[in-house]
Amino acid sequence: MTMITLALSKGRIFDETMPLLAAAGIEVLEDPETSRKLILPTNQPSVRVVMVRATDVPTYVQYGGADLGVTGKDTLIEHGGQGLFRPLDLNIAKCRVSVAVRSDFDYAHAVTQGSRLKVATKYTLIARDFFASKGVHVDLIKLYGSMELAPLTGMADAIVDLVSTGNTLKANHLVEVERIMDISSHLVVNQAALKLKQAPLRHIIDAFASAIRQD
């Protein structure tokens, strides 16, 4: 029996991938929010799901820890996408990467005056490319969470982060000043696995593609 391993992360990506898996006849048998297991069984003995951090999904797929995975465009850009086949934009877990600042910070003035901005983010490649394209000099501060604290404590002038509803920004007196890019989640496949396990992987890819078209 050829085992297919799918890498997913908890939260929106997991929840919004479930209908796509159902279209392929696959049902995850345990809830990752309540189960302590990191490898979850499905109703198909030849398919299992590994639960990993969102930022680690491309790495697991690249190095063969998983045959395929679902990951955000933001994570893919930061990872670089080496060794990955990207057959589908799944149009799920949609959000955006944006620049946000304290509501009392004059971002437009700072940018036009050629000031050197301190920017906190975990998306350093995206942020560097964006500000370089605008000719804005930045000092990037790498953070892994609670981005909103950086401007509030004076550690940074701005943040580059994922924004969905904007409610977290508002609750922390921050405002979104520039939208860098729209984000959705993509299906990524290990290139070697695609050759060795072509039939079962193609079945899943085709089922996902069909489900997306019907939406």
- In words, the CATH class of domain 95-183 is alpha beta
pLDDT at 197: 97
Number of H helices, E strands in the chain: 9, 11
pLDDT at 135: 92
Residues 101-144: tens digit of each pLDDT: 999 999 999 998 878 999 999 999 999 999 999 999 999 999 99
pTM: 0.92
* 214 pLDDT more than 90: no
The two tokens of residue 155 are: 């550690």
Q: How large is the average pLDDT for residues 27-55?
A: 96
Q: How large is the average pLDDT for residues 22-37?
A: 95
Residues 144-154: tens digit of each pLDDT: 989 999 999 99
> Domain 4-93+184-211, what architecture?
3-Layer(aba) Sandwich (3.40)
Mean pLDDT over the full length of the chain: 95
pLDDT at 18: 97
* 75 pLDDT more than 80: yes
pLDDT at 1: 80
Q: Where in the chain is the domain with CATH 3.40.190.10?
A: 4-93+184-211, 95-183
Q: What is the DSSP string of 138-167?
A: EEEEE-SS-TTHHHHTTS-SEEEEEESSSH
The two tokens of residue 58 are: 């491309």
pLDDT at 115: 80
The residues, ordered by sequence, that sit 6+ positions from 214 with a Cβ below 8 Å of its Cβ are none
* 20 pLDDT more than 90: yes
